[in-house]
Amino acid sequence: MEGYIHSIESFGTVDGPGIRFVIFFQGCPMRCLYCHNPDSWKPQQGQKMSTEELLAKYERNKEFTKNGGITATGGEPMMQMAFLTELFAKAKERGIHTCLDTSGICFTPEHTQEAKQLAAVTDLVMLDIKHIDDDKHRALTGHSNRNILAFAEFLASHDVPLWIRHVIVPDWTDDAEEQQRLGYFIGGLKTLKALDVLPYHDMGKVKYEALGMEYPLADTPPLPKEEAARAREEIMKGIRKRLKSK
């Protein structure tokens, strides 16, 4: 099976545990205002590669992936669900740790069979929850968050370890009450293993300029790391509140 690949990084250090072989999938339905990979949006572009070609590249670089494995990111890997599942299934046959970095936007609660097949060969999901409020999520990304939150619950119910990521964007996700709401939600996920709260940055501006595109948050300053740390504590308050309520 072949898929459309945007790019590959053979020494990823922020894409899951250990040092990772990172595969950036081409295509994404989301239009996040702060996206730093707009060149990965359009589907059926990039380089066509087979699962065997990707695994062969991994094997040539596996000496660098100490305590790591393969991470599928994007773009949105779940747009190419069958290809992604085949890749992870073959990786698991070789004893390779599999990590999916996703927004979860492609999940639909009404059609879970494909998701079950993917979950069975996925060791870790890094789920990027953009906003806990549905209306603000729509404004920030162009999509509802309902299926994303449902995907988080689906993964927890299928015993897939979860690593939640959340970006703090000034004037968008910096409200303490909403951060606690997010924490309360993820506190109910029994397979929650880690939480990354990341400060917004504007390093994607260069790509937008190169593509002749207007950067939506051009007037939004990068967030100091101290503010991200404060936000993380608010989210943790929500997690602790949920745990106490059980």
pLDDT digits (tens, 9 = 90+) for 194-207: 999 999 999 889 89
pLDDT grade for 246, boundaries at 50, 70 and 90:
confident
How far apart are alpha carbons 127 and 89 in whole angstroms?
20
- Give the lowest-confidence range in 19-28, 64-73, 95-104: 64-73
Average pLDDT over residues 49-53: 98
Mean pLDDT of the chain: 96
Average pLDDT over residues 70-97: 97
Look up tokens 């459309």; give the residue.
4
Q: Output the domain CATH number for residue 124.
A: 3.20.20.70
How far apart are alpha carbons 39 and 75 in whole angstroms?
9
Residue 132 reports pLDDT greater than 90: yes
Expressed as residue numbers, the domain containing 65 is: 2-245
Name every residue whose Cβ is closer than 8 Å to that of residue 142 and which is 6 or more positions away in sequence: 30, 31, 32
Write down the pLDDT at residue 189.
98
Instruction: Tell me the backbone φ, ψ of residue 230, rounded to 5 degrees.
Output: -65, -45
Cα 14 off chain centre by: 12
Closest by CA position to 168, among listed 209, 201, 144: 201
Residue 11 CB neighbour total at 10 angstroms: 12
How far apart are alpha carbons 88 and 55 in whole angstroms?
10
* DSSP bridge pairs for 163: 126, 194
> How many domains does the structure of the chain reveal?
1
Residue 40 reports pLDDT greater than 80: yes
Q: Is the pTM of this model over 0.75?
A: yes
Residue 220 reports pLDDT greater than 90: yes
Contacts by 231-235, CB closer than 8 A, 24 or more apart: 231/166, 231/168, 231/173, 231/174, 231/176, 231/179, 231/197, 232/195, 232/197, 234/176, 234/179, 234/180, 234/183, 235/166, 235/179, 235/180, 235/182, 235/183, 235/186, 235/195, 235/197
Average pLDDT over residues 41-68: 92
Write down the pLDDT at residue 204.
85
